[in-house]
Amino acid sequence: MTPPTSTVTAYPLDNTASGADAHHNGLSQLLDDFSQQRLTGLRDWSGARVLEVGCGKGSFARRLADLVGDGGHVTATDLKPPDLDDDRITVIQHDLTSHTPLPVGPFDGVHTRLVLQHLPTREHILDRLIAVLRPGGVLVEEAWRPVRVNPVVAAPDPDARYLYERFAHASGRVFDEAGTDPNWAKQAPTAMESHGLTNVDTVIHGSFWRGGDPAARMVAGTIPQLTDGLLAKGFTAADIDAVLELLDNPALKVHSHLLYSTSGYAPHR
């Protein structure tokens, strides 16, 4: 079957762009502990072979390497992969939307975080990820469900509240127009079941984010790459500077996106 046509080239973020380090460092501080706890509760990973899809800067690939230990191995892929100097990790450049085969399995586990929701061919890719699992292997798919309506819990003043709410809405539209599906997180469990996985389960992780904390720095790290899109949505350069200043202000508190972590097991054949 020929996969659907992809518009992945429109995705607005790039691992090597300005602000990318701040973005990925913030994601690591926000999510790595949760993702590790999630996987630890699913099986014993000692000696396992694991595929990390869309590894970004590689922080969670390193966590996985610690989980599998010296007897296991992690294969980490990304469109623009990092250089990870670790004998337990093989790093591979790979475009999920291409016809290029995935690394050869079978794998005891496949983990992907904040990847499929951004790819219009996500259901086809999901099928390919499941295909490289060994019987009984587990797929963990983690995706944001963005909070864009009334996201501000507290702000320095009404103007700041309005500014951030405009920003949340406009930046969300930039991603949506690039092919991101904001509803994928809650659709993923049904999709995984329909693709044959069993014992599908979802855990939802969220919190409040405050100006100046790792989450705010993560958001700020995306802004250099979103600037053109924000300007096209009616923002001015002064507005963007004001958003960056606000993200450094502890008086700002906003509702986080919700991370839906969905797991499912390949059936024993």
Express each pLDDT in 18-42 by its tens digit.
Answer: 677 888 898 999 999 999 999 999 9
In contact, 186 and 261? CB cutoff 8 Å = no
Q: How far, in Å, CA of 116 to CA of 53, rounded?
A: 10
Cis before 106 (ω within 30):
yes
Q: What is the pTM of this model?
A: 0.92
Instruction: State yes or no: pLDDT of 212 exceeds 60.
Output: yes
74 or 149, greater pLDDT: 74
Residue 203 pairs in a beta bridge with 261
Domain ranges of the chain: 16-265
Residue 9 — very low, low, confident or very high, per pLDDT cuts 50/70/90? very low
Domain 16-265 class?
A: alpha beta
Binning pLDDT at 50, 70 and 90, where does residue 72 land?
very high
47-79 burial: b if 16+ Cβ within 10 Å, else e: ebbbbbbbbbbbbbbbbbbebbeeebbbbbbbb
Residue 32 near residue 63 (C-beta atoms within 8 A): yes
Query: pLDDT band for position 10 (50/70/90)?
Result: low
